[in-house]
């Protein structure tokens, strides 16, 4: 198992490298640089600024400087747009908000999804099965910005009980987390139902019931672990999605999270900030995928790693 | 084929198909019947709602001057007879805008899915057929690409390379071919050693002939199913990009960009956001039902069970 983790970590590092390199050169390929858009600087000032950010050196040298700085110092560099703050600072502040929204969404998604999936599985082919599953079908199809706006209109405009912009108060987190969470809850509900139904139909469950074990024990102790396996493996990409899907949620609810930095920096050609955002996202996605894969092995004793 | 008949028995899929046909028809033929073009502005009638409880109160409450002659009362509510779905902030008719958006969204979604399909089928079939080292390397490539956070590259690509219409669906298609390739490769591998392939080979058919005329046509089942799920996914990604401002450019409008344009006014003029969002959701919904229905109809395990 340990060797497996090492192998995955190594794969993750390589992927990260590919991501950094691709993004780096893609950004450089674009016409225009970080300082070409706004106020025309006198040429001497421009030269000084470019020297400060190493933009006057050949691309490969810039690449090497960047890699060295990131790997050795964990310093993502100064931002070209927000000239008084470093990328590390900006990302830390954005990550603070994005992580909170993401965590809340994850909680909502898992709670709502697993519970409704269980409900559906235990009442197979009865109305308590169809209703949650139909809602789940809607949740899977509806785009996040549509759901976000619907909730805003419903709770913010008509009923006027929840704030719809900004997160100055803790209530401001409710709508964003619920929006993001519900969409993933739909997939989780479907997966839970499918997984539980499959496990509950197996012989060993029938044996347990025949032995006279109380339903509760049969459910919690024996079937839950197996039934939740597909959910666990889905949680990897799902968490990644919640972290990146927050792009939309942050825009709708005006949350100063990472997503805003990412998009704006790509448009403004703020090389360092864009690279920094990409790296942070990529690291989180890779890390979650690895964690989930290891968790999979813990939950299912049949899984072996070679 | 009996699979088609099975599909027709799935009520949800049939309703889905009818809806999609209706939407496609309306999108491409509809504007010919409309009195307004999608860019015709009528500033006197800007921000008109499709319905309202009371014309007077609406004018007083929001400050928008409504022309009382436009509205007819029916069933206790006033309906806008001049612009059935209301107007946007420049007085453009929402119904026409939504139909126009339908044309763009559907076209981009479809074309992106086609691009994705072409790349995926080619790579998957070649990998599966050739086997050996080539196959191994391609699989490794696919796995690496799989773990890349591709959304970033699409966003980066669109932010950087400008927003040409062609680039949009090529970009979306180019990052979503991975699963198609995997599916096709699996199919090809399982069919590679069947007898009819052996017969074709011994009758002198070259490699390309076997691939094109025998293998790929026999993998068509899962490919069609996957295609019908690729289209809604591509549409969703296009809507996502347009919402972020990186998709289609004005004056073109897709459903995503329509929602984005009106996002800031959602609490004041909710219809501008809800109506395109609803159109998008219903279309995605229908497409997903069609996909599910196709999958059930073509599933060999269910054959003969009806």
Cβ count within 10 A of residue A211: 9
Nearest to A270 by CA among A91, A27, A62: A27
pTM strictly above 0.80: no
Distance CA B12, CA A304 (A): 41
B274 contacts in A (CB within 8 Å)?
A: 149-150, 153
Nearest CB to B153; choose among A22, A30, A145: A22
Higher pLDDT, A13 or A226: A13
Interface test with A, best of B15, B139, B160, B175 (most A CBs within 10 A): B160
Find out whether B211 and B123 touch, Cβ atoms under 8 Å.
no
Find out whether A78 and A55 touch, Cβ atoms under 8 Å.
no
Confidence of residue B305 (pLDDT cuts 50, 70, 90): very low
Distance CA A180, CA A174 (A): 10
A11 close contact with B: CB closer than 8 A: yes
Q: How far is A149 from chain B (nearest CA, A)?
A: 7
Distance CA B255, CA B261 (A): 10
Closest residue of chain A to B160, computed from CA coordinates: A30
pLDDT value at residue A163: 66
B232 contacts in A (CB within 8 Å)?
A: 141
pLDDT value at residue A1: 67
- B104-112 average pLDDT score: 87
Joined together, the tokens standing for residue B277 give 């969002």
Q: Of the ranges A108-112, A201-205, B148-152, which is most confident? A: A108-112
Joined together, the tokens standing for residue A127 give 């109305």
Are B156 and A27 an interchain contact pair (Cβ–Cβ within 8 Å)? yes
Reduce the DSSP state of residue A187 to 3 states and report it. helix
What are the tens digits of pLDDT across the range B170-208?
A: 778 877 788 888 888 888 887 777 788 778 878 877 777
Mean pLDDT for chain B? 77
Q: Is the dihedral of CA A182, B292, B290, B15 positive or negative?
A: negative
Say whether pLDDT at A114 is over 80: yes
Lowest mean pLDDT among B32-41, B166-175, B265-274: B32-41
Lowest mean pLDDT among A13-27, A32-46, A95-109, A132-146: A32-46
pLDDT value at residue B306: 37
What are the tens digits of pLDDT across the range B42-54?
A: 766 677 777 776 6
Are B288 and A141 an interchain contact pair (Cβ–Cβ within 8 Å)? yes
Nearest CB to A252; choose among B153, B157, B263: B263
Confidence of residue A245 (pLDDT cuts 50, 70, 90): low
pLDDT value at residue A26: 75
Q: What's the ipTM?
A: 0.73
């Amino acid at each position: 198992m340990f060797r497996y983790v090492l192998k995955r970590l190594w794969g993750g590092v390589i992927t990260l490298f590919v991501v950094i390199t691709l993004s780096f050169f893609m950004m450089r390929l674009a016409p225009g640089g970080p300082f070409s858009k706004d106020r025309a600087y006198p040429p001497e000032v421009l030269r000084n600024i470019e020297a400060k950010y190493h933009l006057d050196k050949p691309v490969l040298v810039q690449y090497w400087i960047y890699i060295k700085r990131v790997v050795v110092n964990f310093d993502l560099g100064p931002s070209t747009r927000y000239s008084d703050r470093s990328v590390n600072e900006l990302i830390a502040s954005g990550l603070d908000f994005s992580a909170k929204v993401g965590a809340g969404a994850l909680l909502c998604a898992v709670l709502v999804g697993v519970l409704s999936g269980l409900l559906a599985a235990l009442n197979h082919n009865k109305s308590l099965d169809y209703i949650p599953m139909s809602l789940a079908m809607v949740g899977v199809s509806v785009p996040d910005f549509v759901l976000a706006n619907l909730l805003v209109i419903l709770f913010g405009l008509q009923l006027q009980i929840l704030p719809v912009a900004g997160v100055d108060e803790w209530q401001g987190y409710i709508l964003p987390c619920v929006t993001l969470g519900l969409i993933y809850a739909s997939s989780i509900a479907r997966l839970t139902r499918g997984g539980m139904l499959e496990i509950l139909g197996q012989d060993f469950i029938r044996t347990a019931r025949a032995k006279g074990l109380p339903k509760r024990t049969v459910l919690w102790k024996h079937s839950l672990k197996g039934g939740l396996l597909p959910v666990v493996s889905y949680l990897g990409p799902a968490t990644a999605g919640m972290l990146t899907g927050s792009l939309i949620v942050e825009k709708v609810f005006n949350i100063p999270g990472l997503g805003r930095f990412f998009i704006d920096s790509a448009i403004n050609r703020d090389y360092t900030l864009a690279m920094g955002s990409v790296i942070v996202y990529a690291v989180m996605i890779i890390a979650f995928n690895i964690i989930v894969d290891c968790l999979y092995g813990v939950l299912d004793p049949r899984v072996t790693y070679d | 084929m009996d699979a088609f008949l099975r599909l027709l028995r799935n009520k949800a899929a049939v309703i889905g198909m009818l809806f999609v046909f209706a939407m496609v028809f309306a999108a491409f033929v509809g504007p010919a019947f409309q009195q307004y073009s999608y860019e015709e502005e009528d500033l006197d009638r800007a921000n008109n709602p499709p319905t309202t409880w009371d014309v007077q109160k609406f004018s007083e409450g929001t400050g928008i001057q409504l022309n009382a002659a436009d509205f007819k009362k029916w069933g206790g509510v006033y309906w806008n007879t001049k612009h059935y779905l209301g107007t946007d902030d420049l007085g453009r008719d929402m119904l026409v805008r939504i139909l126009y958006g339908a044309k763009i969204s559907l076209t981009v979604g479809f074309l992106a899915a086609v691009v994705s399909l072409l790349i995926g089928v080619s790579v998957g079939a070649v990998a599966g057929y050739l086997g050996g080292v080539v196959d191994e390397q391609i699989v490794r490539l696919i796995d690496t690409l799989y773990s890349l956070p591709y959304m970033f590259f699409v966003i980066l690509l669109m932010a950087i390379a400008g927003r040409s219409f062609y680039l949009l669906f090529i970009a979306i298609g180019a990052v979503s071919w991975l699963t198609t390739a995997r599916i096709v490769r699996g199919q090809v591998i399982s069919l590679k050693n069947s007898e009819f392939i052996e017969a074709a080979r011994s009758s002198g058919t070259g490699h390309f002939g076997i691939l094109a005329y025998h293998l790929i046509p026999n993998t068509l089942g899962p490919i069609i199913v996957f295609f019908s799920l690729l289209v809604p996914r591509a549409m969703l990604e296009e809507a996502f990009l347009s919402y972020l401002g990186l998709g289609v450019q004005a004056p073109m409008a897709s459903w995503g960009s329509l929602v984005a344009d009106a996002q800031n006014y959602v609490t004041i003029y909710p219809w501008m956001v809800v109506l395109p969002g609803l159109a998008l959701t219903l279309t995605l919904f229908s497409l997903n039902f069609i996909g599910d229905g196709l999958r059930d109809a073509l599933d060999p395990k269910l054959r003969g069970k009806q």
